[in-house]
A = this chain, B = another copy of it.
Amino acid sequence: MSAFPADPKPLTRIQTKNRAAILDAGLEVFSTFGFRGSTLDQIARAAGLSKPNLLYYFPSKEAIHAELLTGLLSTWLDPLTLMRADGDPVPELLGYVRRKLEMSRQFPRESRLFANEILQGAPRVKAALEGELKDLVDAKAEVIRGWAAAGKIADVHPHHLIFSIWSLTQHYADFDVQIRAVLGEEDPFEGAEAYLDALFTKMLTPA
């Protein structure tokens, strides 16, 4: 019944399935080789489609990459968004750390896709970093500053605290190969959870 001129056509089941397969394949390939280093051949093969058929669903290589990145950005910020100013400060921050580590465990490819984009100078998300991301971080940094001023957590540089949480959690996804090479059989995430919990508890608990 809704018939606006710009109404997006509903997708058939097969369209939905193929689009999903392409995005999953694109994530796999782009997250490993970056945009420039990935080819449509690789993605098509991983998706189980021919190259022209792949281009029937997406107009270009850029379009696949763009869809992955934009879909990712908000998801990536969710764990920080969930940190509440009216909660108990130390548990709120530890909860953020745990959620972020869980993202690395559940979505390592997404983490690497993002890492690749940043490493290459963030040509496609620079604007979002300086806008959306900076705004959220600045707001949450203000919350953290307030907690510190009230003596509810130790006195730390709020921005660097947030950077350190990104760094420590994403490292287990982005440098997975290196960590497993050093650790051998031991599961990285088991130890990471305990280690990060202790680290931030000590860092944040006021003297």
Contact = CB atoms under 8 A, between A and B. Distances in A.
A161 B171 CA distance: 13
Contacts of A175: 115, 118-119, 163, 166-167
Main secondary structure of the interface of A (DSSP, over half): helix
A40 interface: no
Contact of A119 (B35, B112, B137, B192): B112
Contacts of A182: 129, 133-134, 137-138, 159, 163
Interface residues of A, number: 53
A195 B34 contact: no
A37 interface: yes
Contact of A191 (B36, B38, B159): B159
Contact of A164 (B121, B138, B195): B195
Given A157-B194, A175-B118, A177-B122, A199 B36 contact: no
Nearest to A37: B36
A120 interface: yes
A177 B164 CA distance: 15
A160 B199 CA distance: 11
A130 B181 CA distance: 5
Contact of A163 (B138, B164, B179): B179
A177 B121 contact: yes
A53 interface: no
Contacts of A156: 195, 198
27 contacts: A32-B121, A34-B37, A36-B38, A37-B120, A112-B119, A115-B174, A116-B119, A119-B174, A119-B175, A122-B181, A129-B181, A129-B182, A133-B178, A134-B182, A134-B184, A137-B182, A154-B202, A156-B195, A157-B194, A160-B191, A161-B195, A163-B175, A164-B171, A167-B167, A171-B171, A199-B203, A203-B203
